[in-house]
Amino acid sequence: MARMNVYLALLRGINVGGKNVIPMADLRDAFAELGFEDVRTYIQSGNVLFRAPSADEGRIETGLRERFDYHGRLLVMTRRRYLASVAQAPDWWGDTDTHRHNALFTLAGTTPARVLRALPPPSEYETIATAPGVIFWSGLKERLTRTMFVSKLAGHPAYQELTVRNSRTTHKLEALLGEM
């Protein structure tokens, strides 16, 4: 019997603004039909936890395209990789109500450094740190429209190389992976 690893798939653009609407029960079924076990989802934004001997992003993308006509990209990480990345979050990230905190996970083929080189520098209202595969971003809530993240990133080609989760979701996924 093959050794089962725990994985996390982060789908880009699921159930956002009425686009790529996929019920989580259907998403769980699709992953199960692809042969993955103990499939779980968290909230409606395309966070899928599962067990498998291995996980091929291309095979998952093909399966989702065929079943849901989903043409977005996704990122699949082992539990170990996700937990190691999130453990490197700086102390200032995710622990204040005055700032919005996001984890910007880089998709295959890019790095945090490459994404940041393509963007304008952060404003005085935001703070950025990196770890392998992730950019930790915080922006002052009362000045969000003046941040690079809000004013420039969403319309920039580099945004297509990221999947974003807020700090609450990032930490909840950390806890759920720890339970599997």
Each residue's pLDDT tens digit, 5-55: 999 999 998 988 778 899 999 999 999 999 999 999 999 999 999 999 999
| Spatial separation of the C-alpha atoms in residues 59 and 33, rounded to whole Å | 12
Q: Are residues 29 and 90 in the same domain?
A: no
Residues lower than pLDDT 70 in the chain: 1
Q: Which domain-ending residue is among 36, 62, 79?
A: 79
CATH number of the structural domain spanning residue 17: 3.30.70.1280
pLDDT, residue 1, reads 62
- DSSP letter for each residue of 40-78: EEETTTTEEEEEES---HHHHHHHHHHHH-----EEEEE
pLDDT, residue 126, reads 94
Phi-psi region of 175 (alpha: psi -120 to 50; beta: other; left: phi over 0): alpha
pLDDT, residue 135, reads 97
pLDDT, residue 127, reads 95
What Rg value do the Cα atoms of the chain yield, rounded? 16
Q: Which domain-ending residue is among 59, 79, 99?
A: 79
pLDDT, residue 20, reads 86
pLDDT, residue 151, reads 81
Domain containing 29: what range? 5-79
Please give the backbone phi and psi of residue 140, each rounded to the nearest 5 degrees, phi first: -65, 120
Structural domains counted in the chain? 2
| Spatial separation of the C-alpha atoms in residues 105 and 115, rounded to whole Å | 10
Q: Are residues 91 and 66 in the same domain?
A: no
Q: Are residues 108 and 126 in the same domain?
A: yes
Q: Are residues 31 and 115 in the same domain?
A: no
Amino acid letter for position 148? M
Q: Are residues 124 and 170 in the same domain?
A: yes
